[in-house]
């Protein structure tokens, strides 16, 4: 049996930076509170969770699904929120298939710093679209990734794919709601 690996050496610095996960400055709490989903890269809001583009993607379309509530462990997520996370994962994968036509997906959680969690205190699920041959020599020899689409373009394509029911919020709308969700 052959063993395949996904190598991402450019992420080592990000993963090793233990100071970036500050419970007082949680990105998954701060982003929805901005009230401007385009700036926050939130492509969809559910009742208990939201779907956001990864600011440090492995591939174009790398999404994360996270609860609005600040929860650090899968074991502590309320059942209704867990169900919504997986329904949003299914929806996100369908939208990614519609837009990008990936050959497969990596889907999962990194719970705890030792497991590779970049944001340790707010659980989130990664949805990473994959294509045959989607890695090349650039990250290894030149410390560069070749991303064929900007985050802004990924946001536009994916927020459109989720459609008008996506529950996105503009900066103007956030001023009229007290909850910020």
Structure tokens at 90: 């299914």
Q: At what angle do helices 151-162 and 79-100 cross, to 10 degrees?
A: 110
The answer to whether residues 129 and 60 touch, using CB atoms and an 8 Å cutoff, is yes
124 is a catalytic site residue: yes
Half-sphere exposure of 176 (CA within 13 A, CB side): 5
Q: Who's near 108: CB < 8 A, 6+ residues apart?
A: 125, 126
The answer to whether residues 139 and 8 touch, using CB atoms and an 8 Å cutoff, is yes
Q: Where are the alpha helices (DSSP H) in 101-164?
A: 138-142, 151-162
Q: Which residue(s) pair with 64 in the sheet?
A: 52, 126
Q: What angle do CA 7, 157, 120 make, to 5 degrees?
A: 45
Catalytic residue selected from 122, 124, 126, 144 = 124
Catalytic residues: 124
């Amino acid at each position: 049996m052959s063993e395949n690996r996904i190598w991402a050496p450019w992420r080592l610095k990000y993963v090793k930076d233990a100071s970036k996960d500050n419970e007082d400055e949680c990105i998954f709490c701060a982003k929805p509170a901005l009230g401007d989903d385009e700036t926050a890269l939130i492509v969809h809001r559910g009742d208990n969770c939201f779907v956001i583009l990864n600011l440090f993607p492995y591939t174009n379309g790398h999404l994360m699904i996270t609860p609005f509530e600040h929860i650090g462990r899968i074991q502590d997520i309320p059942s209704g929120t867990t169900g919504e996370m997986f329904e949003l994962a299914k929806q996100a994968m369908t939208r990614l298939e519609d837009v990008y036509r990936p050959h497969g997906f990596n889907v999962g959680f990194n719970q705890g710093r030792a497991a590779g969690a970049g944001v340790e205190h707010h659980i989130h699920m990664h949805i990473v679209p994959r294509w045959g041959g989607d890695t090349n020599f650039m990250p290894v020899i030149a410390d560069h990734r070749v991303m064929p689409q900007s985050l802004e373009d990924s946001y536009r394509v994916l927020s459109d794919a989720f459609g008008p029911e996506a529950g996105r919020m503009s900066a103007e709308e956030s001023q009229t709601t007290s909850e910020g969700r």
